[in-house]
Structure formats: structure tokens, C-alpha cells
Amino acid sequence: MSESVKRSNPLMWFLDPLTSTASQSDPEYRYSWSKIAWMLPLAIGILGLVVTAIGWATNSEQFYYSYLIGWAFCLSITIGAYFFVVIQHLTKARWSVVIRRIPEALIWSFPLLAVLSIPILLGMHDLYHWTHHDLFDPASANYDPVIAGKEAYLNTPFFLARFAFYFLSWTWISYKLYTLSVRQDNDPHPEIAPKQRKYAAIGLALGAITTAFAAFDILMSLDPHWFSTIFGIYFFAGSFMIIMAVMALVSMMLQRKGMLTGLIKVDHYQDLGKFLFGFVVFWAYIGFSQYMLIWYGNLPEETVFYRHRLEHGWGTMSAILLIGHFIIPFIVLVGRWAKRNLALFGFMCIYMLVMHWFDFYWIVAPVLHEHVAMSIYDVTGVIGLFGVYSAAFMYRLSRHALVPQRDPRLHKSLSFTNT
Amino acid sequence: MLNQLTEVKASMSIYEAQEEEVYGILAEFSNPGTLLHAAQSVREAGYSHFDTHSPFPIHGMDKAMGLGNSIIGWITLCGGMAGLALATWMQWWMGKVDYAMNISGKPFFAVEPSIPVMFELTVLLAALATVAGMFALNGLPRPYNPLFFSTEFLRVTDDAFFLHVAASDEQFESGTTTQMLQDLGALHIETIRDTGEED
């Protein structure tokens, strides 16, 4: 660490591993919004969590599922940010430098998410059917030969070890990428960019494996009979799609408050829009690939996932997901015009956030409910968690320059035009 | 009708020679920046039948020339829709009508296994329509172009930057157009004649 950038105290470390460098940032890149930017989401978030806590007291099983939906939603945004930062470094991308601080601040959400995962780990017995010991006991009436065959993988100690490994590896790479970038702001050194690339390369390889297995463990194993090897990519596709919407929305908010005026241009938004559109299509492509192979194979342990989601009223939800998460955004975002019209594009970003949450609802909620049901806690859970999550993010963003101000490729990003 | 055809051809940079077989005026510029500026000035002077030629694409040239958005996207869309319709019909007709065959109890025609075919044909016809549309909108292939009569123009694929104002433009007047190009800093200017035969 250089002189000007210091480690923060251990308690603050969860929010930001470095002391604030906002006073050292260039005036045009300085954060200038009031504290309301993080206090308001924090207040909404705490309110949401308090309401959700009522669910924990009255209907704890529903609470755990609702909480998992909200938590997975926040996790996927963070994973999307992680892959975005990693890919920008590896490709030496120029266009995105001016918006890169946003995902850089987002990736330091991993420690917070690890803390917020405690209720999920406490609720494992309710969430994950495979944690029931009698399933593995041939003498028991509940013996399940299919799940028993997966005992080597689906057991609590191994699950917890994997869970810890995911978060340690994500936090490690995020720490390196985040601190290197902030260090560069205040103490530019030609060695920083190659170092960022090095950790990005490790992070990409590590992230590919951990993201896929995290998706298997956290979401797919809710349905322990079912398996789909493409599920990790499905999770990634949604994550990488939503990070584009989040970056665009945060940029619009900052610009509305008079920050980064003229620096983030409509050309940058158009590129985010292209990515958003591309990964909406990619999500559908992967989702359909999963569905079609299962339809063709017609094996009971695979079709169970879709069969359940097409029966007892869940079919309506599946239709909403297909139309709302693919067809509508496809038609709206396909044109160049929609990506350059910030009012429409901003609306579509918010819309995609809702649909992305709906995607997790569609994966998680049918495991609990035989018949279609949406609990109030599904909604308050995500409001609570996302509120706290975005409060921590906005607070972190306010502590440093809003742009990697000494990045060697920043001037290329500022003069970027889209033809 | 004939006038409309002339305009369509002009949009493909195919211009018609005027009296005394004058095809237009070709001006060479020293670098991409001056060419960009010249194109903008020529457009602002009210010309519409002109084109620029350079060894590589120049950022912002379409804006400077006032080209606007290409209609190529709509051609792509039509190609894609045609592919989608063709694939849907093909899957249904082959699977259910022409050669109905029971394969492990699956329906003769179902949307699920047809989607990859529909997707591929959509992409294929959209891509072919895009390439064909691009060629048509650019007036390609075009083995004969009067600009090739200029020996200077041969350097356009190497290191020279040209602006060509066609004689078919309503504003075109040999003297004033030449004067304007000179004022814009053209390195040298020549009048191109379309004699229809090699000299």
C-alpha cells in the first residue's frame, strides 16, 4: 500500500477495505451527493428486513425461501460486476473505463453478502431437502436412493466448505482488483495495470468454476433430484445481463445529481444497452437450451423441474418469465434508438431488475409451494436485502473518485464515440 | 419516375454524366481531418450528390456527410422474418405432412425441437439479406466507375483522400464548385469526364 491509501479499520473493512480518498480525487470525478444517497436505501432496506423478520417469526420456512430469493438476487449482481471488471482488464477495454468504478465498488459486496448469508445457513434444514439425514439411511422409511447416491457431494460439511471457498476466492480477487484500482487513483504506477490483468486472469478462471458450482449448490440443489449441467451458465447469463442495467442506472442517477456530467455519454449508454440486449438473448438461449434437452431426453429426474413449473398455476409464471424476460425486452431493445433514449433505456433497466428478481422467484418459490403462490415476504425480502446492499454500495462509491482517474486508458474512454 | 431513379442511383453513388460528358469534380485532400471538414462544408453548402473516398473508414464521416441511419436494419429484419416463417413451415411440413415418422413417441411437429432450426434459418436469411442489402445500397458490384479514369485516384486504396462532387447535383456549376473545393484546401482538383471508353 502506498502512503496516501491506507487500510481501514477491521469493522469498516466489510464496507470498504480502504480509508476514504475522496478528498484526493480530481474535482470533476468527485462524489457530490448528500448522505441521503445511502441513508435512504438503508432506511428502506432495514424497514424491509424488519417486515421480513415478522415472516421469520410466523412462518420461518417461507422466510428462508423469500430471503434466499433476495439474497441470490444481490449475489448475482455482484457476480455480474465481478465478471465485468475482470473482462474489461483482460481485454484492455477502453470504452468502459469511465464507468468501471461502479462495478469495482459493487464487487466489494462479497464480504457483506457473506454476512447476510447467515440466515440461509441457519435455514439450511428448511431450504435444502438433502440435509435430512434419514434420506441416506436405507433402513429409514424416508430413504431416497436417488439423493443417497449424491451423498458424496450433497452433505452439509462439504457444502459449507465449498460455500466458504467461493466467498474467499471472490473476496480475494475483488480485494486485489478494488484496492489496485483505488491505489492507482492516488499513486499511479505503470505496474498496476499489468497486475490488474494478472488478477483478472486468475479471477476469470476461478470465477468460472466457482460461479457454476455456487449456482449448483445454492439454487439447483433446492431440487435435489434434479440436475442440469448448464445451470451455472444460466445463472451467469442472468448476472452478466443485470450488471449492465445496474451500471446504466447508477450512471444515470449520478449524472442526474450533476456528477460526471458530459463524461458518461450517450455512446457509453448505447454500449451498455447493446450488452444488455445481447445478454437478454444469451439468457434466453441458455434457458431454452436447458429446456429443450430436458424435453427431448424426457427423463423423469430431469423433467421434474419443468413439469412442476408448468402445473398447478406455475405455468402462468413460466409464461410471464418467457415473455417478460425475453420477448418484451428483445423487441424494445433491439433498435439503436431505444438504447440512446435514456428515459426509455432507464425504464428498461429498472424493468429488467424486476424481471431478474422474478427469475429467481421462479427458480426458488416453486420448491416450497405445490400451487402457485407469491408471499409478501418474497417482495419485502428483496427490498430489504437490496436496500442494505445498495446503501453499502453507495456509501463505498462516495469514498473514492467516481472514475479510475489515473487509468492509462481513461482518455480513450472519455473520447469514445459510437458510430 | 426517371428523376426518382436518378436519386436512388445517386444514393448508391452512381451518378449520371451531364453535358459535355462531365461526370464531376474530384478533389484530393491531404489527410482524414481535412476530408472530414471538406465533406461537412460541401454538405452545408447544399450539395447532396457527392461522395468521399479514403483508404480506411473515418470516424464521424457519415455524420459529416449527413448520411443518416442506413435502412439496412429493416432489410435484416425482413430476411430474419422470412427465415423464421420458412423454418416453421419446413419443420411442420416435413415432420407432419410429407414424412411423418414416430420417433420415440414425440409429436410429429412440436415447437420445442423446431426452435433451433427456426433460429438458424432466421440467422441465415437475416445475414444473407444483410449482405445482399449492403451490396445493393452501395451499388455494388460496380466494375465500371468513371473515377477510375483519374490516375491520381488509384492511390485511394493506399494513402490519398478524395472528395467527389457529381455533375448531376442541382447546385453543380463547374467554376463555383471548383472554387469552393479550392477554398477548402484541396491539394489538387481535376474534372472527370465519363466518355464510356478507355482513353
Testing the interface with A: which of B63, B112, B123 to mutate, by most A Cβ within 10 A? B112
- Evaluate whether residue A7 is within a structural domain: no
- Asked whether the bond before A17 is cis by omega within 30 degrees of 0, the reply is no
Whether residues B61 and B85 fall in one domain: no
Of B62, B69, B115, the CB nearest to A292: B115
Phi, psi (5° rounding) for residue A48? -60, -40
Whether residues B184 and B152 fall in one domain: yes
Q: Could you give the CA distance from residue A409 to residue A94 in angstroms, rounded to a whole number?
A: 6
* Residue matched to cell numbers 456528477: A259
Testing the interface with B: which of A270, A274, A285, A292 to mutate, by most B Cβ within 10 A? A292
What is the nearest CA distance from B183 to chain A, expressed in angstroms?
A: 29
Q: Tell me: pLDDT of A391 over 70.
A: yes
Residue of A nearest to B74 (CA): A335
Contact residues on chain A for B104, CB-CB shorter than 8 A: 298
Q: Pick from A68, A104, A88: which is nearest to A184 by CA?
A: A104
Across the interface, whether the CB atoms of A292 and B60 are under 8 A apart is answered: no
Contact residues on chain A for B84, CB-CB shorter than 8 A: none
Q: Is A296's Cβ below 8 Å from some Cβ in B?
A: yes
The mean pLDDT of B65-83, rounded to a whole number, is 90
Q: Tell me: pLDDT of A1 over 70.
A: no
| CB contact at 8 A, A23 and A400 | no
Across the interface, whether the CB atoms of A419 and B113 are under 8 A apart is answered: no
Q: Could you give the CA distance from residue A237 to residue A281 in angstroms, rounded to a whole number?
A: 9
Q: How far is CA A245 from the centre of its chain?
A: 11
Q: Tell me: pLDDT of A280 over 80.
A: yes
Q: Could you give the CA distance from residue A136 to residue A131 in angstroms, rounded to a whole number?
A: 10
Q: Pick from A75, A85, A272: which is nearest to A178 by CA?
A: A85
Phi, psi (5° rounding) for residue A91? -90, 0
* Residue matched to cell numbers 415432420: B95
What SS3 class is residue A129? helix
Identify the domain containing residue B53 by its residue range: 20-68+148-193
Cβ neighbours of A56 (radius 10 Å): 19
Of B59, B113, B115, the CB nearest to A419: B59
Whether residues B63 and B76 fall in one domain: no
Phi-psi region of A6 (alpha: psi -120 to 50; beta: other; left: phi over 0): beta
The amino acid at residue B74 is: W
Identify the domain containing residue A95 by its residue range: 12-414
The amino acid at residue A389 is: Y
Residue A320 C-alpha cell reads as: 410471464
pLDDT (tens digit per residue) in B144-177:
888 888 888 888 888 899 988 888 878 788 788 8
Please write down the HEC assignment for all residues of B82-100.
HHHHHHHHHHHHHHHHHCC
pLDDT at site A70:
93
Q: What ipTM was assigned to the predicted interfaces of this complex?
A: 0.71
pLDDT (tens digit per residue) in A128-144:
988 888 888 888 888 88
Residue of B nearest to A297 (CA): B104
- Residue A321's pLDDT band, with cuts at 50, 70 and 90, is very high
- Evaluate whether residue A419 is within a structural domain: no
Would you say how long chain B is, in residues? 199
Cβ neighbours of A373 (radius 10 Å): 15
Please report, in angstroms and rounded to a whole number, the separation of the first and last CA atoms in chain B.
Answer: 34
pLDDT at site A2:
52
What is the CATH classification number for the domain harbouring B182?
3.30.70
Residue of B nearest to A291 (CA): B112
- Evaluate whether residue B9 is within a structural domain: no
Whether residues B115 and B129 fall in one domain: yes
* H-helix or E-strand spanning residue A107: helix A101-107
- Evaluate whether residue B55 is within a structural domain: yes
Whether residues B92 and B114 fall in one domain: yes
- Evaluate whether residue B10 is within a structural domain: no
- Number of domain units in chain A: 1
- Evaluate whether residue A3 is within a structural domain: no
- Residue A174's pLDDT band, with cuts at 50, 70 and 90, is very high
Cβ neighbours of B129 (radius 10 Å): 21
Whether residues B76 and B117 fall in one domain: yes
How many CA atoms lie less than 13 Å away from B56 in the CB half-sphere?
Answer: 7
pLDDT at site A269:
93
Contact residues on chain A for B106, CB-CB shorter than 8 A: 296
Whether residues B78 and B133 fall in one domain: yes
Across the interface, whether the CB atoms of B116 and A417 are under 8 A apart is answered: no
Cα torsion angle, A40, A42, A46, A48, sign = positive
Across the interface, whether the CB atoms of A292 and B116 are under 8 A apart is answered: yes
**What residues pair up with B26 in beta bridges, in sequence order?**
B164, B190
- Evaluate whether residue A2 is within a structural domain: no
Of A296, A335, A419, the CB nearest to B113: A296
- Number of domain units in chain B: 2
Residue of A nearest to B119 (CA): A285
Cβ neighbours of B145 (radius 10 Å): 16
Q: If interface means Cβ-Cβ distance under 8 Å, which residues of chain B face chain A?
A: 59-60, 62, 69, 73, 104, 106, 112-113, 115-116
A&B contacts, CB < 8 Å: 20
Whether residues B80 and B51 fall in one domain: no
Q: Could you give the CA distance from residue A330 to residue A322 in angstroms, rounded to a whole number?
A: 11
Q: Pick from B51, B45, B3: which is nearest to B24 by CA?
A: B51
Sheet holding B22-29, edge to edge: B50-53, B161-166, B22-29, B188-193
What is the nearest CA distance from B112 to chain A, expressed in angstroms?
A: 6
pLDDT (tens digit per residue) in A231-247:
999 999 999 999 999 99
Residue A373 C-alpha cell reads as: 403462490
- Evaluate whether residue B130 is within a structural domain: yes
pLDDT at site A159:
93
Across the interface, whether the CB atoms of A417 and B73 are under 8 A apart is answered: no
